[in-house]
């Protein structure tokens, strides 16, 4: 791999970050805080939150088994995705490589940052070959994006191929494991110490049921985390979000319970879909959704909308012709979807 000095944008490498009042004094012993021009009234919301979210990271360290020094927290995974471009890619010069189809934000953020996005088509099993991904790279390729389990396809990407990419690519490999809580596969976040060029993304939006609080995680070598911290907004995760996340982390077994229920429902829903005459096949899934090949995705989608049931129409995505992406809902919601489809 190239050195971080070679991979980080020169202006970011030399950046002297904003130093907030909370950065300059972060101890807890003091009791008179007259340093941040805050209002002394309206406790506790009058105070700026911890810019590095230390209490929250201490809890995440235990649940995710990643040292706090290897954790970045942001306003959703969205922030961690955008920061990857702002830290590593020079607009108009550098490029990134990604699997195709995959999560749409990698390309949107590339476009916003004026960075060339090079999609590499998956095979008919929605798998990659490391060789093909690496062949799409040149000297200005700074990032390879891999989403596993992948969205919208639902499947895990082949572990040996990912490992080859991690070992052979000279730049940063970002593995988005937003759905890994639903999978039996060993997550790559537990392999951080083997790869200095690896960033793993996780989120509170899926298994943790907290999409509204906007909390995303990036796990990486502490040197990468330090670069992220230099570039992020000083108080990027607000106090309400930090508190709510800590509440959820106190009861991880509640999340485990919900995951088990959703996986049972997934099996039930998939087998019912297989019996629908309008369903031509279900792709293998390791996530809380599945991709279903239908006779006519657009017509079925419109029909469901009319009934107040919204699924994701992916028919115009590469390799997903006539596919609907179905998120697993509650028992009642899934039953309503099935009953509507049986009447189609
Ligand atoms: C849903 C999803 C996320 C979550 O993004 P947040 O900004 O954390 O809500 C991240 N990656 C993928 C692939 C997703 O499908």
CA distance 144 to 136: 10
Cis peptide before 97 (omega within 30 of 0): no
> Ligand 1: distance of its center to the CA of 206 in Å?
8
Say what the pLDDT of residue 165 is.
Answer: 98
Residue 178 CA to ligand 1 centre (angstroms):
6
150 in contact with ligand 1, CB cutoff 6 A:
no
Long-range contacts of 105-110 (CB under 8 A, 24+ apart): 105/77, 105/78, 105/81, 106/81, 106/145, 106/147, 109/81, 109/82, 109/84, 109/85, 110/85
Regarding the beta carbon of 205 and ligand 1, being less than 6 Å apart is answered yes
Q: What DSSP state is assigned to residue 316? A: T
- Largest distance between two CA atoms of the chain: 70
Q: What is the pLDDT at residue 29? A: 83
pLDDT for the residue numbered 22 = 81
Please return the burial class of 104, using the count of CB atoms within 10 Å of its CB with bins 0-12, 13-18 and 19+: exposed
pLDDT for 310 equals 98
The ligand 1 atom at the shortest distance from the C-alpha of residue 206 is: 1
* DSSP one-letter string for 57-123: HHHHHHHHT--GGGEEEESHHHHHHHHHHHHH--TTT-EEEEEES--THHHHHHHHTT-EEEEEE--
Taking the chain (344 residues) in consecutive chunks of 10 residues, what is each chunk's mean pLDDT? Answer: 96 93 81 94 95 97 98 98 98 98 98 98 97 98 98 98 98 98 98 97 98 98 98 97 98 97 98 98 98 98 98 97 98 98 97
SS3 label, residue 271: helix
pLDDT at 25: 83
pTM over 0.85: yes
- How much is the pLDDT for 182? 98
| Residue 312, SS3 per DSSP | strand
3-class state of residue 277 by DSSP: coil
Residue with token string 């019996």: 275
């Amino acid at each position: 791999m190239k050195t971080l000095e070679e991979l980080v944008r020169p202006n970011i490498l030399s950046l002297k970050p904003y130093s907030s009042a909370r950065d300059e004094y972060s101890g807890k012993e003091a009791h008179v805080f007259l340093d941040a021009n805050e209002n002394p009234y309206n406790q506790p919301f009058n105070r700026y939150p911890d810019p590095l979210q230390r209490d929250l990271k201490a809890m995440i360290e235990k649940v995710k088994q990643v040292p706090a020094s290897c954790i970045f927290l942001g306003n959703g995974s969205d922030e961690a995705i955008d920061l990857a471009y702002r830290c590593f890619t020079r607009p108009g010069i550098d490029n990134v490589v990604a699997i195709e189809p995959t999560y749409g934000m990698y390309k949107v953020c590339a476009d916003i940052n004026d960075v060339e996005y090079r999609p590499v088509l998956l095979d008919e099993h929605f798998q990659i070959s490391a060789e093909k991904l690496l062949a799409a790279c040149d000297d200005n390729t700074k990032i390879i994006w891999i989403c596993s389990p992948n969205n919208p396809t639902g499947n895990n990407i082949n572990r040996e191929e990912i490992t080859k990419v991690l070992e052979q690519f000279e730049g940063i490999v970002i593995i988005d494991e937003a759905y890994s809580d639903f999978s039996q596969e060993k997550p790559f976040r537990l392999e951080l110490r083997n790869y200095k060029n690896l960033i793993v993304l996780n989120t509170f939006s899926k298994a943790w049921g907290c999409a509204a609080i906007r909390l995303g995680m990036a796990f990486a070598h502490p040197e990468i985390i330090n670069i992220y911290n230099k570039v992020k907004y000083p108080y990027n995760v607000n106090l309400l979000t930090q508190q709510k996340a800590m509440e959820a982390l106190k009861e991880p077994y509640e999340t485990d319970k919900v995951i088990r229920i959703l996986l049972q429902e997934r099996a039930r829903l998939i087998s019912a879909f297989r019996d629908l005459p309008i369903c031509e096949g279900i792709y293998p899934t390791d996530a809380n959704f599945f991709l279903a090949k239908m006779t006519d995705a657009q017509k079925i989608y419109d029909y469901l909308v009319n009934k107040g049931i919204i699924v994701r129409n992916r028919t115009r995505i590469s390799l997903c012709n006539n596919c609907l992406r179905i998120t697993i809902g509650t028992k009642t919601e899934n039953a309503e979807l099935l009953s509507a489809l049986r009447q189609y």
